[in-house]
Structure formats: structure tokens, C-alpha cells
Amino acid sequence: MSEKYTSIHYHNYLQLDKILSAQDLRSAMDGEAAHDEMLFIIIHQVYELWFKEIGHDLGSVTGMFESDNVDEKSIGLAVARLDRVIEILKVLIAQIRVLETMTSLDFLDFRNYLFPASGFQSFQFRMVELMLGLKSGQRITYNQAPYTDAFEGRQRQRLKELESSKSMLDLLEAWLERTPFLEFKNFNFLTAYKEAVKNMLNEESEAIRSSPILKEDEKKMRLTMLGDTDTYFASVLDETHHNQLIEKGELRLSYKATMAALLINLYRDEPILQMPYLFISKLLEIDDLLTTWRFRHAQMVMRMLGRKTGTGGSSGHKYLRETADKHKIFSDLHNISTLLIPRSMLPKLPNELKMELGFYFTEKKQNDD
């Protein structure tokens, strides 16, 4: 082993002198430090450290998917790293409870010293959002100005680079579009799925009409809620309608990518599709946790400040609550749940396709038997 690696002290390895001397209380400048300003600074410094790790892990995952030929072995590693991001986000949400041990009056003791600083100016969090796929077109405007106005120099340039680069959402779409099982020799997934949907709706409609318990007005209401192939499943049965929703900004994933995600969800029990299903599920969970974090942040601000304007000039609680409602990235994957049908009604896969989707030894043995 090289001499430079033979000995290092814990304190020096973690550079604790830098970290532990980075809590300068601005309230102390007036001679009397506000006690809870220390907590406020440390909480947000810890947030920034976790944002750095999230960006580090997301960067590695997007790197795995940048190639036109994603190594299937890397999906397991991607799932593991997204799992870590998920656990970190849970910690970020839990940290809000620590910050809430500070009362409104405690915060007001030093809040005036923060102007015009704002969490909106977190460069690393903006990077995380962009890496996942929250670009300018999907954002709520902050103070009627581009969000990049809050940054200068190299930071602003880096954000612009991420705006024009492929996000996790973009790479996911391209990866899904390459799914080889949508058409397999004589099996066309979409054709088989459409038929299964019609059969399911017909069965459910008949069950409602023949029910001896429901009254006529109740039957009519349930049939309306159930819909038919022209309403409930319209975006799947009509590619043109799907593309119109993309143009309106209501959907983001292409039709083909959506169909692939649907196939993966429906046949998730097939061995080869289990890891892709997990990968999609992890992205959904990240989106959910980010929404939860934004919502909890908004509620904390309401509790601390009511309807006061934010230190950065935003509308405070109102702005934060709107981001929780609208800054979702993988909503198209959530919409897949609307299109699921019972396992018992899934189109049967041809044996040859089952072989492709299964573990070869297991499938061959079952067929031989």
C-alpha cells in the first residue's frame, strides 16, 4: 500500500474543521445570537449534503441509460441506487419534524437576517429536478421570472446545460420504446390488450345490468362511471388521442413508451420483466416522495409563517403548495394504473414468448413436462 494511504485520522478524513466551522449565526452580529438559528443552518446544510448524494446517484443511473443498448445487468444496479435515493428522501421528509421543534416566535428571532435568501436558490436541488425531468416548460413561474435568474455564472450555465440534456424521463422514454415484446412474431400486444379490455368492460357492464340489488338509477350511474372503450381507455385505444394530450401538455411519454410501460406492469410476474417493473416503480416512488416533501414543506411554512411572503419574495405557502400539486415528473407512469386489467383477463402469451420472458431452464423444464 502506498504511504499516502497508510494513516489518516477520522477528523481529517471528514474535514470536520471545515464542516463544523461553517455555522455563522447572522443574528450574533448584533451581539445576541438567536438560539434556533443554529438549528436552521444545520438542517439546511444537511439538506444540501443529501442533495449532493442524490445528484451523485442519479448521475450514475442516467449514465447507464444514455446508450442505445442498455446493459440489462445494469438495471439491478440502477434499482439499488434509486432505492438509496428513496431512503434519503424519507430522511429529508423526517428532518422537517426536527425543524418544526422551532416555534414561530423562535424563527422570527432571526428571520429578518435571511432576506433575500431563499430555499428557491438551492442550486443542487434545481439540478436534481432537472436530472429527473422537471424542465422549464413544466415549472410554475417564480416571481414572474425564469428560475435560472436566481443563479449566476457557472451555476446558471450548468442549469442551462441540464435543460438541454437528456433527463431521466427522456432516457426512460427511449428505453421503453426499445422494448422488444410489443410485437413478437404472431403476437401483437396492443391488439390482444384491446380485446381483453372490451371483454372486461362487457363482463362488468353485464354484471351491473343484471344485479338484483342495484336500482335503475344506480345502474345507470355505475355504467357511466365504468365507461367504455371510447372513454375510459381512449388514450390507449387511440394513438391520435394520446398524441393530442401530449400536445396539450397533459401527457409527456410517447405512445409507444406508454404501451411498453403498460406491458411491463401487466406482465410484471414474468422473470425478465421483474427488474424493469422495479425500476419503473422506484421512479414513481421518488416522484411521490418529492411531492410529499414539497407538501410537508408547505405545511411547515403555513404553521411557521401563516400567509407571510417568503424571504425570497415568493407568495410563501401558496407557491410551495402549488409546486407540490404541479411539479410532478412521472405522472404518465401513475396513469398506467388506470389501464390495468385483472390478471385473470390478461391475454395469454404464446409459449415461445413465455420462453423469452422466463428463465430458460425453468421454462424448458415446464414445457418438457
The 10s digit of each residue's pLDDT in 33-78 is 999 999 999 999 999 999 999 999 999 999 999 988 888 788 999 9
pLDDT confidence of 311, banded at 50, 70, 90?
A: low
Give the residue among 283, 323, 322 at the shortest CA–CA distance from 167: 283
DSSP reduced 3-state for 188: strand
pLDDT at position 94 is: 96
Q: Are 176 and 342 in contact (CB under 8 A)?
A: no
Can you tell me the distance from the alpha carbon of 284 to that of 302, in angstroms, rounded to the nearest whole number?
27
Q: At a CB cut-off of 8 Å and minimum separation 6, what does 42 contact?
A: 23
Question: Among residues 339, 341, 309, 330, which one has the least CA distance to residue 129?
Answer: 330
Question: In terms of pLDDT, which residue wins out, 285 or 178?
Answer: 285
Question: Which of these, 140, 96, 68, 87, lies nearest to 324 by C-alpha position?
Answer: 140
Which residue is associated with the grid cell 405545511?
299
Q: What is the pLDDT of residue 347?
A: 92
Q: Report, as an integer, the average pLDDT of 259-271.
A: 94
pLDDT at 11: 95
Residue 143 binned pLDDT confidence (cut-offs 50, 70, 90): low
Is the model's pLDDT at 1 over the cut of 60? no
> At residue 115, does pLDDT exceed 90?
no
The CATH label, of 1.20.58.480, 1.10.3720.10, 3.40.50.300, 3.40.1000.10, for the domain at 21-368 is 1.20.58.480
Whole-number pLDDT of residue 13:
93
The shares of helix, strand and coil residues in the chain, as percent rounded to the nearest 5, are: 70, 0, 30
pLDDT at residue 358 in the model:
83
Q: What pLDDT is stored for residue 310 in this prediction?
A: 53
| Grid cell locating 238 | 387511440
Among the ranges given (143-157, 161-175, 195-209, 347-361), the one the predictor scored with the smallest mean pLDDT: 347-361
- The pLDDT value recorded for residue 213 is 92
pLDDT confidence band for 362 (50 / 70 / 90): very low
Using DSSP, how many helices (H) and how many strands (E) does the chain show?
A: 18, 2
Q: What angle, 0 to 180 degrees and rounded to 10, lies between the N-to-C axes of helices 271-305 and 255-266?
A: 110
Residue 234 has pLDDT above 80, yes or no: no
C-alpha cell belonging to residue 50 = 443529501
Mean pLDDT of 20-31: 91
Residue spans per domain, the chain: 21-368
85 CB-near residues (< 8 Å, 6+ apart): 54, 57, 58, 282, 286
Instruction: Kindly report whether the global pTM for this prediction surpasses the value 0.75.
Output: yes
Per-residue pLDDT averaged across 171-180, rounded?
A: 93
pLDDT of 367 higher than 70: no
- Closest among 286, 318, 304, 320 to 99, alpha carbons compared: 304
CA-wise closest residue to 297 among 125, 128, 137 = 125
Residue 340's contacts (CB-CB under 8 Å, 6 or more residues apart) are 262, 265, 266
In the predicted structure, residue 369 carries a pLDDT above the cut 90? no
In this predicted structure, what is the pLDDT of residue 181?
81
pLDDT at 30: 80
Q: What CA–CA distance (Å, rounded) separates 202 from 163? A: 46
